[in-house]
Amino acid sequence: MTNLFLIRHAESDYNIKDQYSRPLTAKGDIDSINLVNLFKKIPVDAIYSSPFKRSIDTLKHIADIKNKKILTSDKLRERKIGCWVNDFLEYSKKQWLDFNYKLEGGESLTETQNRNISMVTEILAAHQNQNIVIGTHCTALSAIINRYEPDFGYDDFLKIADKMPFIFKLEFNGDCYIKKEVIEFTSEYDMIS
């Protein structure tokens, strides 16, 4: 069996509008350190990430403890919106209702899903019977799950929209999807801040 641990990045600073350079908040930094605890007893064979700073920084402590390089791919990035959207949930709802909906200069969920799935397919081919950590984003993560479980939709997306970090473990036999599991993460930030 191949296990993909899809990790939605820790909390990021939404005051920074640039997708590539948006950093983690103080809470996000602490949560990224605490993610290591979930992987202490899990062998990790490779780590992939979106090239966005918040995704890479979420995985850096896992990479350090496992002595792995974080391999970045633009195929794993979040979907391109085209411009800053003030009502993100309304925009997202339009996309989930119509997978081909997009703003000028942006990507549809179909395009995002196809791009992300192409990288997941490459990872599965290269890492049979291994444990792979993948750093990603909420919409990208949700679009990947939707490909394997088409009933996963907008309401499911909303359930995880405020959870950072968030982890799904996907199990595959070869390239055949078997199941998903939520890996629970509890932030200890509030206890130490």
* Cβ-proximal residues to 149 (8 Å cutoff; 6+ apart), any chain: 180
Pairing status of strand 176-183 against strand 131-136: unpaired
Using alpha carbons, select from 83, 143, 102, 152 the residue that is nearest to residue 119.
143
Q: What is the number of other CB atoms lying within 10 angstroms of the CB of residue 192?
A: 7
pLDDT digits (tens, 9 = 90+) for 98-137: 999 999 999 999 999 999 999 999 999 999 999 999 999 9
pLDDT digits (tens, 9 = 90+) for 68-81: 999 999 999 999 99
Number of alpha carbons in the 13 Å side-chain half-sphere of residue 21: 4
In this structure, which amino acid lies at residue 188? E
Identify the structural domains of the chain with CATH numbers, from first to last: 2-192 (3.40.50.1240)
pTM (predicted TM-score): 0.93
